[in-house]
Structure 1
């Protein structure tokens, strides 16, 4: 099954699930965004990678399904546009510097648990779940020592773990730890060793507003 079809089918399952939610569930729609906190600096004999930045933004929905004694259990799902940028320079010849950008359409789906804070308009929340992404644009990296270009892979996947706070029952701010399960880049040569082709984890600041 193609990655694009996986995302399409997943969205269909989510929408159908919403139609069967219990009456006491609370469904809200909104917007979610995040900004990457990591700024790693990688160097190899072939190239240098630095100034890595990332941001995402897109529509989101939240459905709290089960009211517990002191908490609420539910799910949230989003479909976000993700932009990753970095600066790459070749260390073996002319030190040419190039800005590389990869853009994904990503869909995280999380289980979410909210904790009340008494009479205050503040709640704590924890969330965790998988994400999948489909590449919509990816720049290639051309290195003299390799016969082929290094190109971004068309599909990415991983898991999210988040903690945060909800204010006034509509604004959510938190920190998200993203565990990447797939490589971002591929090359035909099996002996290629470079940070670009390694699984990396990242921290993100997230913000959402639901109506």
Structure 2
């Protein structure tokens, strides 16, 4: 009888430890996230055409989720590059906007709905900050206007998750504030260029 109790206690303890480990694995996940910035988002192959792509992002991602309810946070550090179509923006061939390289740190609230960890949906909403690494400078009539070193914005997205590891979705970003400033020249036309950006994203968590 005593031996049976010991076996039951041992099994109970083992199951408790296993449950804690499983819950911990669900709470904190590390992975990689990448995305392609597009002009016109769509759910077909046209979205990935070269003429529709304007940039990309790639980096590390951290996902913190409360088990059962599926609510949590997502953050990370992403290297990004945004290209500009100077031909459609500039009236003068001597004018230009150089490609913008930046480091982005997003902080999102994330809600996930999963079916036995096999598939599900997720929704995100939050903010981001872009730290300028290089480029993004505007040249007009021989005058150069430097892009600001730090920019912020709001973001929201949605997508599908597969096998609790792979996530595919869309993200919409709205930049707050202006990229360029001048007391003598109206730069509103160029500040609107990347005000709103759509991205097709993919992430893999371990």
1:115 to 100, 113, 116: 113
- Whichever structure has more strand as a proportion of its residues is 1
Q: Does 1:62 align with 2:63?
A: yes
The structural deviation recorded for 1:104 is 0.8
The answer to which structure has the higher helix fraction is: 2
**Number of paired residues?**
171
TM-score normalised by structure 2 residue count:
0.73
Q: Which residue of 2 aligns with 1:77?
A: 75
Query: Runs of 4+ in structure 1 displaced over 3 angstroms?
Result: 22-25, 96-99
Q: Is the 8 A contact 1:126 1:163 kept in 2?
A: yes
Backbone CA RMSD of aligned residues? 2.6
Deviation track 1:160-183 (CA, whole Å, cap 9, x = no partner) reads 111000001100000111111122
The secondary structure found in structure 2 opposite 1:196 is helix
Question: 1:109-148 maps to which residues of 2 (within 5 A)?
Answer: 109-117=107-115, 119=116, 121-144=118-141, 148=143
Show the counterpart of 2:146.
151
Q: 1:126 to 1:52 in 2, by over 3 A?
A: closer
Question: What is the alpha-carbon distance in structure 1 between the residues aligned to residue 123 and residue 75 of structure 2?
Answer: 14
Q: What is the TM-score normalised by the length of structure 1?
A: 0.72
**Equivalents in 2 of 1:98, 1:142: separation in Å?**
5
User: Which is higher, the Rg of structure 1 or of structure 2?
Assistant: 2
Structure 2: unaligned runs, 5 residues or longer: 1-22, 41-50
Residue by residue, what CA displacement relative to the aligned partner does 1:5-38 show, whole Å, maximum 9, x if unpaired? xxxxxxxxxxxxxxxxx96862110001111111
Q: How many Å separate the matches in 1 of 2:65 and 2:25?
A: 9
Displacement of 1:129 in angstroms is 0.7
